[in-house]
Structure 1
Amino acid sequence: MRKTSDRIRQAVAFELVALLIVSPLGAWVFGHSPWDFGLLALLCSLVAAVWTFLYNLAFDHALLRLRGGVDKTLPLRLLHAVLLEAGLIGFLVPIVAWVLGLGLWEAFLVDISLSAFFLVYAFVFYWVYDRVFPVPPEPAT
């Protein structure tokens, strides 16, 4: 297992590297300033962190109340993921529209593009991170 300090380093590095990539790349792809896209990425990151925390807490409480436990079957995991992303899109589309001065449809397309980017980015980032900072072996007992 990773230590708390390593997890904090991992989370901070993930967000900082993402900002360094998304700001110029988004500016170039969508024709906005890097500052606008940097602000957008930062706001999206903060909203995603808060939403994910609150959503997971609410989902687990609902499972506990409805099923008596928080174990998730495959269908429940799929429902969890779909509702998490749908809620995030619902929160982020107006923010994208506001920051970039877009209509809701255009903001939705930008948000979907950002989601696709982060799917690939997360895979690559965590793979590289695990190579650069491998999990230390558990001490023998």
Structure 2
Amino acid sequence: MFLPNDYDPHGRLKLPVFFWLVLLLQARTWVLFVAAGASREQGEALLRLFYPDSEMFWLGLLPGIPAVLAFLLSGRRGRWPTLWTAWRWVLIAAQLGLLIWQVALAVSEVALSGITLALMVLDVVALVWLLTNPRVKACFSPSDE
């Protein structure tokens, strides 16, 4: 079903590149946090630009935790196969939570911003992709180990 290039030297199916992009999308507040920390003088201005309300920033870190843990687990999926197999559903739930949160923010705002709309579209695409992509399903299946 998959090409020989799709497997790593250990015989496990490689995670698709789009999977890593979905993780970055889910962990977007974490990425912003790291970028703000790396640019010391402009870091606070960068955080205020995307999160004028600092409480929303700290809440924004919560949905990214599963993605950050997926980054860490991906290298050790052979060591914890049961946890890895279940983690796809954790990522799907996190993506669904992000989508619901984006919709709630859009409904509560007076004007819908372009960034909010773009994030909602990306969240829908990522959720559908996580649910339907056969390679992702195969990467998280117990038989991949």
Larger relative contact order (Cα-Cα within 8 Å, sequence gap ≥ 6): 2
State whether TM-score is above 0.5. Answer: no
Which structure: greater helix fraction?
Answer: 1
**Under a length normalisation based on structure 1, what TM-score does the superposition of the two structures give?**
0.31
